Amino acid sequence: VQLQASGGGLVQPGGSLRLSCAASGINLDSYVVTWFRQAPGKEREGVSGISHGTTSTHYHSSVKGRFTISRDTTKNTVYLQMNNLKSEDTAVYYCAVIRTVNEEIMFRPGPYDFWGQGTQVTVSS
């Protein structure tokens, strides 16, 4: 199983980026896929998740209204569209998958089975 996270970069405040999480070895549509981020000196935190099968989506309060998570089943890829980026969004972003998870703990990193390698997002003027 491989998860390839990509799309990070340097962007000015207010800008946009789209992250991609491409999978091989598994069918992402059968998994809950969640994006996490980790800033220097901080714990890894869940940002956004999409439930398997359905298109139920979940967002951390800090990104609600700015980030959008989506699937492309034909490409076996999950995306995170990030708009109106802020300096506090600066972090390494990871995608992770799990077969099933209760919504109450979706944003906890511990239960997840597989992780991508991370992609750096830097928001700075």
**pLDDT score of 54:** 61
- Cβ distance 121 to 9 under 8 Å? yes
Whole-number Cα distances in Å, 56 to 12, 33, 103: 30, 11, 11
Mean pLDDT within 5-9: 97
Instruction: Work out the mean pLDDT of the chain and round it to a whole number.
Output: 95
pLDDT (0 to 100) of residue 52: 81
Given a contact cutoff of 8 angstroms between Cβ atoms, the answer to whether 99 and 30 are in contact is yes
Residue range 24-79, pLDDT digits in tens: 999 999 999 999 999 999 999 999 999 986 679 999 999 999 999 999 999 999 99
Q: Which of 74, 118, 76 is nearest to 96 (CA)?
A: 118
Summarize the confidence of residues 80-100 as an average pLDDT.
97
- Averaged pLDDT, 91-114: 93
pLDDT for residue 58: 96
Residue range 88-110: average pLDDT?
94
Report the share of the chain in percent with pLDDT over 70: 98
Asked whether the predicted pLDDT for residue 9 surpasses 90, the reply is yes
- Cβ burial of 68 (10 Å; 0-12, 13-18, 19+) is middle
Q: Is 39 exposed, middle or buried (0-12, 13-18, 19+ CB in 10 A)?
A: middle
